Structure 1
């Protein structure tokens, strides 16, 4: 978090994608996301309604996520979306910019590149869930999905437990190479497996896909598993069997998004659980709710992705860039 008045005398600060990659690491992202989840649970930070629309051009989805964190005095929005054809143009499919304002005056404060920050804040979210909910003796990490985001997920997750092996599945197996390279770099065994084998072996499972159908069956999950569902952020998307929710202890980043557009939407619609069964992870962080209650319990984190995560990491990036003389400035 950062003071909203920092460097306002120099004008509006601009922090590029390159600078964000230079100064924002996984540790900074983890702390920023954990802090904002805590603030959300205390009702001192809240997200505004999300706008997300198909623009009718380039098959793109475009929208806004915004909010205000009173604890950190961070106000702003992330504007951007998903352009599926960008990969053919050597561009990231997700494109976004974070815009920060001074909460005391409403003046524009900072423009911060949002693509890299979106990736590390999403990975930080699942990492926070692993830190607070996974068994401490977890040894096998499983990943469902091997897209751009998967590498960020892998690196962040590996820092939360002493994993001894990584296993993964992807619809296009050739894409698993990007995960294998990281494991080789870290001298960690890696194996491509079926989804059923992955569920039988993994102590922690991260799903990070754009699927619209369940990729994991509830009968495959072994006792004591922690599952972080990170791909479902739109009505209709689905990564896991909704019946898992009936047998798991369920947590989320934000309840309103979880039940409407997160992974929990299907379990809610089917009447398998109700809203009261889902615990904001910030309450676990704050100690007002218990996380895992036994080594045999299945825990599930529904990571829907909220605007306050983007504002939190962007605020830290702006502060670091300004302090290190890496921001540029302009006046309106």
Structure 2
């Protein structure tokens, strides 16, 4: 069995490798070569934590396994640890034997950013120049760095419930040589691409804040009850997602679908666009929305890539198990 500790991940896996792994597994899902297992997610009644499992099997990439972990909201303040904690377990599809254990914290950030990046590449207008960020926490920096690689952006604008956090994304913009401007929500109409990455249970970004032709990547809603954007925006937009079944139950689409305002049949897999079986964006005026719920296969894809790189570079720890 191979172990790749959390501390080694950053030196092994970058945005390019993460993008490739996530794009490939989205394509495999849409072609029926990969599928996710039902998600288990529970409040454990201790430390205000949410804990669960996401897993699946990718027949094309021969990747089988699960990610175990969740959200401990008091970690940073109480223990000096990031609030999201997870570990990925990979198994040999031919025998069922455990193949690898991989630290999942940085992987989760990288694969989430890669997913929105894939959606921007395949759905945003080619002439997109202004990117807007809703959210400025730890994950937002990963999101912005990945997104900036997909278009020739000229400006970054941002809004956060707590404005004092906006320097987090301003720093990333400055690193890329781009100007940054803090805006109120109506100011987001300037954006050609908007990424939302919050843990909100109340809609923040509404349809009136989004101009025609914008691509919106909603990356924070992964639990029943969460909601980052107004149902009016979901209704207005052409919606794409990682997995439809998950999007309509715990993703951003859950509210519009539950109200009967958006049909499940009108929500499409991003993998179909990657494979060329769906046209994706139809016009420069169309609003597209990616409902990024975060599927287990994303975690397995990037973890598998890390294991391959660790073995190749001699960093992998091998144990007899």
| The two structures share one fold, judged by TM-score above 0.5 | yes
Say if 2:135 is the partner of 1:133. Answer: no
Residue 133 of structure 2: aligned partner:
143
Structure 1: give runs of 5+ residues left out of the alignment.
1-11
Residue 291 of structure 1: aligned partner:
280
Residue 163 of structure 1: aligned partner:
153
Residue 294 of structure 2: aligned partner:
305
The alpha carbon displacement at 1:182 in A equals 1.5
CA RMSD of aligned residues (A): 0.7
Give the Cα–Cα distance (whole angstroms) in 2 for the partners of residues 94 and 215 of structure 1: 23
Residue 5 of structure 1: aligned partner:
none
Give the Cα–Cα distance (whole angstroms) in 1 for the partners of residues 180 and 250 of structure 2: 33
List 4+ stretches of structure 1 deviating above 2 A: none
Give the Cα–Cα distance (whole angstroms) in 2 for the partners of residues 248 and 266 of structure 1: 14
SS state at 1:21 partner: helix
1:251-262 map, 5 Å: 251-262=240-251
Residue 173 of structure 2: aligned partner:
183
Give the Cα–Cα distance (whole angstroms) in 2 for the partners of residues 258 and 18 of structure 1: 32
Residue 222 of structure 1: aligned partner:
211
The alpha carbon displacement at 1:330 in A equals 1.0
1:231-270 map, 5 Å: 231-270=220-259
Say if 2:91 is the partner of 1:101. Answer: yes
Match for 1:23 among 6, 12, 33? 12
Say if 2:271 is the partner of 1:282. Answer: yes
Residue 121 of structure 1: aligned partner:
111
* Preserved contact between residue 166 and residue 191 of structure 1 (Cα < 8 Å): yes
Residue 193 of structure 1: aligned partner:
183
Give the Cα–Cα distance (whole angstroms) in 2 for the partners of residues 243 and 180 of structure 1: 29
* Preserved contact between residue 186 and residue 208 of structure 2 (Cα < 8 Å): no
Give the Cα–Cα distance (whole angstroms) in 1 for the partners of residues 132 and 208 of structure 2: 16
SS state at 1:67 partner: strand
Question: TM-score normalised to the size of structure 1?
Answer: 0.95
